[in-house]
């Protein structure tokens, strides 16, 4: 089952986000207060970020974090699928595909584009995304983080 995060899920989300950021799926860990900022924003409003939790037979199986932006190139709103994390014991049960079915169904009329990033060596995820119609966007991404 896929459901939106609620206040009672705060600690669970932070626990799973820490697991995700300790995995090979990310380039580097992030400070714990970033998880708190994210969950605060998602609980405050769905304007910028939404968090969805995945349950499997009553157990917390993972989550997805989405963010919204606007793209002239895409001709409208873009839903960034920022993170998808499924705990090891729940992988290969169709939860990733179920999330994409859900997000495409629920947000597809609003979104001009869905966009995501994936580590190049994550062949399993890439295969799923390609099956779902995602294509490589040939841009190099560059960032400049705020210095604290």
Q: What is the pLDDT of residues 63-99, one digit of tens each?
A: 999 999 999 999 999 999 999 999 999 999 999 999 9
User: If one looks up domain 2-131 in CATH, what number appears?
Assistant: 3.40.630.30
Q: Is 84 exposed, middle or buried (CB count within 10 Å of its CB: 0-12, 13-18, 19+)?
A: buried
Distance of CA 140 to the CA centre of its chain: 20
Segment 45-58 shows an average pLDDT of 96
Q: Does 100 or 141 have the greater pLDDT score?
A: 100
Q: Does 148 or 133 have the greater pLDDT score?
A: 133
Q: Nearest-5° angle of CA 73, CA 27, CA 16?
A: 95
Cβ atoms of residues 22 and 29 within 8 Å = yes
pLDDT at 148 over 70: no
pLDDT confidence of 134, banded at 50, 70, 90?
very high
pLDDT on residue 140: 87
Q: State the pTM of this model.
A: 0.92
With CA atoms as reference, report the closest residue to 4 among 109, 110, 106. Answer: 106
For the record, the structure tokens of 130 come out as: 């390609």
């Amino acid at each position: 089952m896929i459901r939106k995060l609620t206040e009672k899920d705060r600690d669970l989300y932070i626990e799973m986000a820490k697991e995700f950021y300790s995995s090979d799926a990310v380039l580097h860990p992030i400070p714990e207060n970033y998880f708190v900022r994210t969950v605060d924003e998602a609980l405050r409003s769905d304007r910028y970020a939404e968090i969805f939790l995945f349950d499997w037979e009553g157990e917390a199986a993972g989550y997805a974090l989405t963010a919204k932006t606007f793209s002239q190139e895409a001709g409208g709103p873009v839903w960034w699928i920022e993170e998808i994390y499924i705990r090891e014991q729940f992988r290969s049960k169709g939860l990733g595909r179920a999330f994409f079915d859900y997000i495409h169904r629920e947000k597809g009329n609003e979104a001009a584009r869905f966009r995501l990033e994936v580590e190049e060596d994550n062949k399993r995820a890439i295969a799923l995304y390609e099956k779902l119609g995602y294509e490589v966007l040939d841009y190099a991404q560059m960032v400049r983080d705020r210095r604290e």
